[in-house]
């Protein structure tokens, strides 16, 4: 086992990983920007080191500075969390060159799955259903429009690299096609340095379901069942749950899990990862992408399976084999996660900047809070505005929702505007309560 691990991240995920290190009796090292100098998660670490600057590019994306600090402090491994450098194959390779273990999959697997075009082709070869579409590499607008003529509108133009809804356009008619392709390519180039796009059939009524996988370096590759993440705003998830309300058929659950495992095996995957699918009302599912990292929503899987994903990422990176078999993993009860953001729903969800005057998280049976804030924490414009994740567990979905409503009402977070009232509105909608949670839910309701 490692003696010292550097956490190359910030906020609630940094705190989560520091606690995982402490559980394994590992010295946890935090890095922090000038904006995060007084952050509670940084103080929780055994050692902490400053990075000059406040922007993400100067700090949490600064590969050279992070590797220099890791080497200087004697860290044997780096955990990237999610976001920032977590899916950067170049950084993972640079860690290996320095003799530092990157806690995640191999650079090769990351590179293959990081490209939506490559991963789509690997999925197809592995027998995993893919959305009807065309790879836009090397095709001009006219050639691309001809190539997708067999696909009925609406269609989706999306960047091959990156995520978060950037480089993505929904096209309703042929008249909009050329401008949408140009806009998507331009945004993809600006966001990811790569204007490679894909064009696929767009499903207006669809569910976003993902399968959690966990694999060691000894040939053991398991799935930890599914999460439904259909409640999304601007392609960003805000409420996730497990099991998925859309899946009422154990055979569909089994086929999706087998498809996810097949895809991961095709790239010799190790560590935690998530294979994302879309599912239609008829029970057809299609591969969307693979996230080669720990997901924001990993706590709900931990609550329904009892398996600590963060701890097992570290154990796997240290060479330990998984001690459990697929037949031993069960879904128990129901879990829901809500992401609490410093943003104003009444004003187009503008980020809310300022100091948190008072913060008191909820508590009680079946309530978990992953956060990186306290009273007095400054919310700055430099990073993602997510403040905390509130997770509840119940014996069934109705109980989990009831606990979530109570937990959100108990949460005291003053000084900045948050989306808590918005989350409560969603949770109390009859359609949500009945499990009608497609990806266009927020637009519809």
Selection from 417, 392, 381, 404 nearest residue 35 by Cα: 381
**Helical ranges in 362-440 per DSSP H:** 397-410, 420-427, 430-433
| Catalytic position from the list 10, 185, 293, 339 | 293
Told to judge if 48 belongs to the known catalytic residues of this protein, a careful annotator would answer no
Report d(CA 205, CA 310) in Å as an integer: 33
Give Dmax (Cα) for the chain: 60
Q: Where are the beta strands (DSSP E) in 160-265?
A: 168-171, 197-201, 207-215, 221-233, 236-242
Q: Which of 417, 378, 356, 352 is nearest to 42 (CA)?
A: 378
HEC assignment per residue over 358-376: EEECCCCCCEEEEECCCCC
Measured at the CA of 241, the angle between CA 13 and CA 222, to 5 degrees, comes to 75
d(CA 15, CA 31): 12
Q: What angle do CA 79, 52, 164 make, to 5 degrees?
A: 50
Structure-token pair, residue 341: 């953001």
Cis peptide before 322, with omega less than 30 degrees from 0?
Answer: no
Instruction: Provide the annotated active-site residues.
Output: 293
């Amino acid at each position: 086992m490692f003696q010292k691990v550097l956490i190359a991240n910030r906020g609630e995920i940094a705190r989560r990983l520091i606690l995982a290190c402490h559980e394994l009796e590992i010295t946890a090292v935090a890095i922090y920007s000038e904006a995060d100098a007084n952050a509670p998660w940084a103080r929780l670490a055994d050692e902490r080191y400053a990075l000059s600057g406040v922007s993400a590019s100067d700090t949490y994306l600064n590969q050279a500075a992070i590797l220099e600090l890791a080497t200087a402090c004697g860290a044997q491994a780096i955990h990237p969390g999610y976001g920032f450098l977590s899916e950067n194959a170049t950084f993972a390779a640079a860690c290996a060159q320095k003799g530092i273990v990157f806690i995640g999959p191999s650079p090769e697997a990351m590179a293959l799955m990081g490209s939506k075009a490559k991963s789509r082709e690997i999925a197809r070869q592995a027998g995993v259903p893919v959305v009807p579409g065309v790879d836009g590499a090397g095709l001009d607008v006219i050639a691309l429009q001809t190539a997708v003529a067999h696909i009925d509108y609406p269609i989706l133009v999306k960047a091959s690299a990156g995520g978060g809804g950037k480089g993505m356009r929904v096209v309703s008619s042929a008249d909009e096609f050329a401008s949408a392709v140009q806009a998507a390519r331009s945004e993809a180039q600006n966001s990811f340095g790569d204007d490679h796009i894909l064009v696929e059939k767009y499903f207006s009524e669809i569910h976003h379901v993902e399968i959690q996988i966990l694999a060691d370096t000894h040939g053991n590759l398991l799935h930890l069942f599914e999460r439904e993440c259909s409640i999304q705003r601007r392609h960003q998830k805000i409420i996730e749950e497990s099991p998925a309300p859309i899946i009422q058929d154990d055979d569909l659950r089994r086929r999706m899990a087998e498809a996810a495992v097949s895809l991961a095996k095709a790239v010799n995957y190790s560590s935690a990862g998530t294979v994302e699918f879309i599912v239609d009302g008829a029970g057809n599912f299609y591969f969307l992408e693979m996230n080669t990292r720990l997901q924001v929503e990993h706590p709900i899987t931990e609550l329904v399976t009892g398996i600590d994903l963060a701890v097992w990422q570290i154990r796997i990176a240290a060479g330990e084999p998984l001690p459990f078999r697929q037949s031993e993993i069960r879904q128990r009860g129901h879990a829901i996660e809500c992401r609490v953001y410093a943003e104003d729903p009444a004003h187009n969800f503008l980020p809310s900047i300022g100091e948190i005057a008072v913060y008191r998280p909820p508590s009680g049976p079946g309530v978990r809070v992953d956060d990186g804030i306290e009273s007095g924490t400054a919310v700055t414009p430099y990073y993602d505005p997510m403040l905390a994740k509130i997770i509840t567990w119940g014996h069934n979905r109705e109980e989990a929702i009831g606990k979530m409503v109570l937990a959100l009402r108990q949460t005291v977070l003053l000084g900045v505007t948050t989306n808590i009232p918005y989350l409560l509105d969603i949770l109390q909608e009859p359609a949500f309560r009945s499990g009608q949670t497609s990806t266009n839910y927020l637009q519809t309701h």
